[in-house]
Structure 1
C-alpha cells in the first residue's frame, strides 16, 4: 500500500500503531440490513471497491466498521474488498466495534470469533465498545477486552460515546492489565463541539487518548449543498433529514459558517468539505482524527483531498470563532 508523501501518520493514542488523520467510516457498507443499515442506499461491490481503492491510494490507511452496521454486513463487505485488492491493501487497518445493548461484558469474549469470521481472516487492529449501555460496567468490559489482547485476538482497545467518567474508568481498568485505552469515538463537528465542554476532550488530551470524530460533515450539512439548494433535503433517504440542522431555522443559523467555508475553499482551491475535514483533524493538534463516510467515488476523492494541504493557524482560529457562534449549545 502506498501512502501519499503528504500524509503524515499519527500514533493511535499512546500505542505504536500509526494511522492516517482520516479513516474511512463504512456504516454505508451495511447493504441496507437492519435499522442502522437503512440509513444509506445499498452499494454494489464495485462501488465499495472504488471507494476503498481511492481511499487507500490517497493515503487513508484504516477503515472503521462495526458489528451493528448491517449485522456484520459492513465488516464482510469491507474485508472481502480488502482481501481482493491483495498487496495494495495488505497493510490496511480495521477498527470494529462490539454492540453492548442487552448484553453483558462476557459477550465480548463470547462473540469475538463471529467478528473475526465476518472479517475473513483480517486482524482487528482496534476493537471498541460501541456504546456505554450494557448490563455491565466499563471495568468489566475492559477486563474482557484484556483477555482478547492477551490471546492476540485483537491488537488495541477503544470505546465509543463514553462520557468523561466512563472513559476514565475504562482507561484505569485497562491500565491495570498493562494496556492503554487508545481511543474514544465521539460525535464531533464544527457545529457540535460538546466534547470541548463536557470534559471528554480535556481528559483525552491528559490521558493520551485519540478522539475519533464521527459525523464530521454532519451527514452532508457542512458541505453547504443543502444551504444552496434546500429542495435537496426532501430527496434524503433515511431519518437524517428530520434533524434540526436540516430545518429552515437550522440552515439559517449555520449560514455564516457556510459562507466562511466557501470563502476559504476558494482561497485554498479546494472544496468546502475539505476545509471542514482539514480543520477537524488539525485544530486540536494530533488529538482528533475523523472518519467521514463515502457513498460515491467523488466523496472518497473529496476525503483524501483534505489530506493534501493544511489550514493556516489564522484560518483555523477564524473558523473556530464562527463555528462557536453557530454550533449547538
Structure 2
C-alpha cells in the first residue's frame, strides 16, 4: 500500500462518495456493511450476476468458491454489499478535473469502500454467489429470448465481476489464460451475452473486466460466435458524475475498453439516492441510443417496482424504451416475486435479469456443519462464521435440493448437482440468469445447469421450502423500492 494521507483520502469528491454510501447503508439498516468489503460485482458482499468480502456476484454471477481450484476464495460478501462492491468503484475511481480518470492515493481508492464490507457480516442475513454446477439434460432451458424488440440472447448469461478484481477475487494477470478458456467454453455451449460494469476491477485496473471481455471476444476460438457476443454493461452513478455529458463520456470510455463502437445494453448500475442526477443520467443514456448509436438499448439494475415505472416513463418520453432490470434473485432471495417486481416487469415488457442465484455458495450443496465430511466442510474465511446459522435455517431447502438432484441424476443418467437445481429454479421463473465463470470447468458446469429442466412437482417442492424462509439473503444495499 503506497503513501496515504488524510488529505489524499478525503478530498471533497471523496467525502461526497462516503456520504453517499453512509446514507444508503443507514437506510438499509447495516451501517458497517458499507465499510467492510472489498472493491467491486453487482457483485458480493453485496452482485450479479454478479452482483464477497475477501474473495470474489454475480453475477451475474459470481462465484466465491472454485471447486476446480479446490479452495475457497475466502470471499464473504454479504448480500447487502453484493453489488455494492461496485461501490468500490467509488473508491477505485475518482475524477481528475473533468475527464473522470482514475487517480492514485486514498484509502477509498486503494480498497474501495466495499473492501471493508466484511465487518458487516453480523448485520446481514445472507449473501449471493454465482458459481453453478449441474448436468446437461435434453429439453433444458437454454434457448433464447428477446430483450427489447429485437435483441436475441440466451437465457443464461455470464457476469464478469471477478475479472480484474484483485482484492475480492484474487485476480492476477496470470489468470487471463484460464478466463479466456472459460469464455471460449461457455460461448461454445450457446451462451451469447456477457454482463460487465465500468466499476469491475480494482485500483489502477478499474474497468479491467470490460477490457478483458473485449479481448476475449476478439481472440476467442469460436470464430464469429465469440466475436459477436452481446455486451450488457453497467455505468455507476458516482456522485461526481454530473450532467448528461458525464454519462455520455462513461459510455465512450466503456466502448474504448471493450474495443467496440456499440454496446448492446447500457445499464444504470443503481439508482442514485434522492434521485441525484437521475434525470441527467437517463438523458445521457437515451442520447447515446438515439443520437450517437453507441448504445443499442437502456436497462437498469437494482431497481424496485416504484422507481421502475418512473424511469420507464422518463425514457419513453425521450423516445427510448427501458428493456431490462437486473436484480438479486434466488431461492433465499425472492424479493422480485414478493414485491411484485417480477409481474411488473412482465406487464411492462421489461426483461428481468437475476444475479446471485446460489447465495454465495450456500445453495451449492458443498457445505455442511459436519467437519467430519471433508468435501462438505464449512468454507474458510468469514463465511465459516455466518454459514452455520444459514445452513441451520435452510436445512429443509438443502434437503429438498439434494433429493431433487438425486432424482434427476437417476432419471437422466448424468450427474445433477444441487447447484444446478437452484439455478434451474431461477430460470423457471421466466427470467434471465447470470452466473460467473473463472475457468473452463465452471463454464461446463454452468452449461449443464442451463440444460436441466425440473418438473412441476419439483418446482412446487422448492417453492414451498423457499417460501417459508422469506428473504433470508439480505438485499443489495442499492436495491430500491
The normalised TM-score by structure 1 is: 0.88
Distance 1:127 1:142 in 2: 11
Q: Which position in structure 2 is the counterpart of 1:146?
A: 286
Distance 1:91 1:264, change over 3 A: same
Q: Which position in structure 1 is the counterpart of 2:448?
A: 305
Whether the 8 Å contact between 2:322 and 2:350 is mirrored in structure 1 is yes
Residue 105 of structure 1: CA displacement? 4.7
Task: Determine if the alignment matches structure 1 residue 104 to structure 2 residue 242.
Answer: yes
Pick aligned residue for 2:427 from 258, 269, 281:
281
Residue 305 of structure 1: CA displacement? 0.6
Residue 258 of structure 1: CA displacement? 1.1
Instruction: Identify, as 1 or 2, the structure richer in helix.
Output: 1
Q: Which position in structure 2 is the counterpart of 1:35?
A: none
Q: Which position in structure 2 is the counterpart of 1:76?
A: 211
Alignment of 1:26-45 (within 5 A): 26-32=160-166, 38-42=167-171, 44-45=175-176
Task: Determine if the alignment matches structure 1 residue 162 to structure 2 residue 303.
Answer: yes
The normalised TM-score by structure 2 is: 0.61
Distance 1:259 1:232 in 2: 16
Distance 2:224 2:268 in 1: 30
Give the gaps of 5 or more residues in structure 2. Answer: 1-137, 410-415, 473-481
Distance 1:314 1:232 in 2: 30
Residue 232 of structure 1: CA displacement? 5.1
Distance 2:305 2:242 in 1: 21
Pick aligned residue for 1:20 from 154, 163, 184:
154
Q: Which position in structure 2 is the counterpart of 1:177?
A: 318
Residue 199 of structure 1: CA displacement? 3.1
**Tell me, what secondary structure is at the counterpart of 1:156?**
strand
Question: Comparing both chains, which one has the higher relative contact order based on Cα–Cα distances under 8 Å and sequence gaps of 6 or more?
Answer: 2
Residue 197 of structure 1: CA displacement? 2.0
Pick aligned residue for 2:361 from 220, 226, 232:
220
Alignment of 1:130-145 (within 5 A): 130-133=269-272, 136-145=276-285
Task: Determine if the alignment matches structure 1 residue 235 to structure 2 residue 380.
Answer: yes
Distance 1:122 1:59 in 2: 24
Whether the 8 Å contact between 2:420 and 2:452 is mirrored in structure 1 is no
Instruction: State the number of aligned residues.
Output: 312
What do the CA deviations read for 1:37-96 (whole angstroms, capped 9, x no partner)?
A: x22121511110111111111111101110111120111111111110142402211110
Give the gaps of 5 or more residues in structure 1. Answer: 33-37
Distance 2:388 2:347 in 1: 39
Deviates more, 1:209-218 or 1:172-181: 172-181
Distance 1:16 1:40 in 2: 35
Residue 18 of structure 1: CA displacement? 0.9
Distance 1:125 1:225 in 2: 36
Q: Which position in structure 2 is the counterpart of 1:261?
A: 401
Larger Rg: 2
Residue 233 of structure 1: CA displacement? 4.4
Q: Which position in structure 2 is the counterpart of 1:118?
A: 257
